[in-house]
Amino acid sequence: MPDQASMRFVDSSVRDSTRILCDDRVLINECCSLSTRAQTFYNTSPYLVHSLSQPYPCSIVAFPGSWVADDWVPVERPPFGDAEVDSSLFPSLKSVGSGVVARVNATFLSSFQRLLICSTLQSEVSRTMMEGKRVIFCGHSSGGAIAILASVWLLENCTQSITPKQLYPICITFGSPLVGDSTFNHAVEREGWSCNFLHFIMSIDIVPRIMLNPLSSYKEQIQSVLHLLSPNASDYSHETVQRSNMSSFYRTVLKNCLSISSHQACVFMGCTNSLLGTLTSFVELSPYRPSGTWAFCTSEGQVIVMQNSDAVLQLLFYLMQLNPQEQLTQVAYRSLNEHWQYESKLKEWIVRNGEAVIYLGAEIDADGLDVGNLELGKEARLRLRAAMHLEKQRLSNQTKIDQNSSKISQALSSLGQYKSTLELRGISYYDSFKQQRNLEDFNANVKRLELAGLWDEIVEMLRRRELPDCFEGRAEWVNLGTIYRRLVEPLDIANYYRHSKNEDTGSYLLKGRPRRYRYTQRWHEQAQRIEVGSSSDSCFWAMVEELQFDMGNNKAYVDVKERLLKLESDMVNWFNSGNLGRDVFLSSCSFVVWWKTLPEHHKSVSCIRNMIYGEGSVSDC
């Protein structure tokens, strides 16, 4: 292990996530060698497997890349070939609060889906994990893209598993193209998986930048590049590159990198010019973004490591910029040549005992940025600093929000006491709050409004990406949000129907439900890995109000029967799980009073009959 003094750690989270760089250099070397070797089997074997006992028992699974443009550029998906992920395979790849699903390269996704169905990968992985060994997925070029999807798939399975001390997989790629969009990156960060992905990239390797191009417009050029990069290429030389259209393609990639990096820089540097929105309305930019941990390998043997997606995107552009002393054809040739230098360069780095690793994180001192021997201009350094400062600001915002948690807890405690006191008097707190007859009801409304302001601020900060990606996955806030939603949303529903807003705006569930409740419900469902919409217990009173409203407006029982039966079935589940209070079964409760007016043939067989009449526990519907 290299001397700690020889490394400059800027951010502890980055240091922890890239411990593999310090401790597992043998593993890196094996992964790189196996990934390179797998390329010679791309027509015959879907993956290679190699077992190691050191640094710990593991099985390395290396995927070969493809050198056919059809395996990179999807048909009939212009211009960037992206598609929504398969939620059955990747349920976590979404923005939890907003519900936006991540998008990935459709061809890479299809290739991985075929691999799961048509190969023995699943049984190979299961056997490895049953033996108590860690799975290491790796790949060079587009093999790295498959390794990324395989790793997310296994991480999803590990997260849902009830097996204790589950060994999570690690993904190591070399010159991999980008795979997913910003939502993909957000989800990986939120789930705490970034530390499981380590992507090595040579300074000007063309392949990691290809996805920043409109793929459908450059399919022929991409095929020419892949032909030159293929292990079977018979004539690969500077002269061959000069005769090809590689120089033109390099210039196109550089131009698209410039557009995307400049747009992103405007966003995270706070540009408010209206032209920014106008530009993106007619110039479509690539949706693909970096995710995980990136290790840039410089020509002088340094490894620059970072997790900040915005900063990585900036480096992808600035490292491509032309040296005034080099011709375009020379740079284009190097961009191809570097794609096959990972094994030799990493071996050189390992021989030097893995020294010269520089970690760039969110904490930046006043003197600026240490980027080793990278020759970056003033503008590039400014953008990197701004990208990292934004992450630092998000962490600062999170700290301020954390300071409000005690205020939220105190207000919830007060409302909990309000509910308990009324229940002791035989009154449902929903009915009391809706009538607003007493001072305690007024005070409860003040607390409701205070809490609404605090939670609305959190939701808006999330929508503006002013909080870290991991915020929605933090257990303390998921739990606090669930307590808040279950206790306070009934009061919002009572206020909504007290003022007859349903008659003007529509039903609460369809038109009136605030984002703060939709977001906190989805946090809970994601944390519990349960179906979206399955924990709607806090909306019980809205469902009751709508049934009462419909039946009061001359809808026949038969017209609402299915909804009523569904509600009663849900009530059984919610009550048994402790998510529906006993106060809804009090004899004076408006729900009980209304329920008793239902047809006798319904009441006689209802699964909540016993609770309504105080004859025992609820029965299964």
Looking at 199-237, list the stretches that DSSP marks H as alpha helix, in order from N- to C-terminal side: 219-229
Looking at 60-160, list the stretches that DSSP marks H as alpha helix, in order from N- to C-terminal side: 106-118, 121-130, 142-160
Measure the CA–CA gap between 35 and 62, rounded to whole angstroms. 5
Tally of helices (H runs) and strands (E runs) in the chain = 26, 10
With beta carbons less than 8 A apart as the criterion, state whether 204 and 375 touch: no
**The one-letter amino acid at 597:** T
Please tell me which residue in 59, 111, 141, 428 is annotated as part of the active site. 141
Cα angle 154, 156, 158 (rounded to 5 degrees) comes to 70
- Going by the DSSP 8-state scheme, the letter that residue 607 receives in this structure is T
Would you give the distance in Å from CA 62 to the centre of its chain?
Answer: 25
Omega prior to 64 cis, within 30 of 0: no
Is 339 a catalytic site residue? Answer: yes
With beta carbons less than 8 A apart as the criterion, state whether 441 and 433 touch: yes
**The one-letter amino acid at 269:** M
Omega prior to 287 cis, within 30 of 0: no
Please tell me which residue in 140, 199, 339, 524 is annotated as part of the active site. 339
65: left (phi over 0), alpha (psi -120 to 50) or beta: beta
Measure the CA–CA gap between 160 and 597, rounded to whole angstroms. 44
Is 140 a catalytic site residue? Answer: no
Looking at 161-218, list the stretches that DSSP marks H as alpha helix, in order from N- to C-terminal side: 182-190
Is 141 a catalytic site residue? Answer: yes
Please tell me which residue in 205, 431, 537, 570 is annotated as part of the active site. 205
Measure the CA–CA gap between 296 and 407, rounded to whole angstroms. 44
Other C-beta atoms lying within 10 Å of the C-beta of residue 79: 13
Structure tokens at 157: 């399975």
333 pairs with which residues across the strands?
none
Exposed/middle/buried for residue 530 (C-beta within 10 Å: 0-12, 13-18, 19+)? exposed
Structure tokens at 544: 């009751």
Catalytic residue IDs: 141, 205, 339
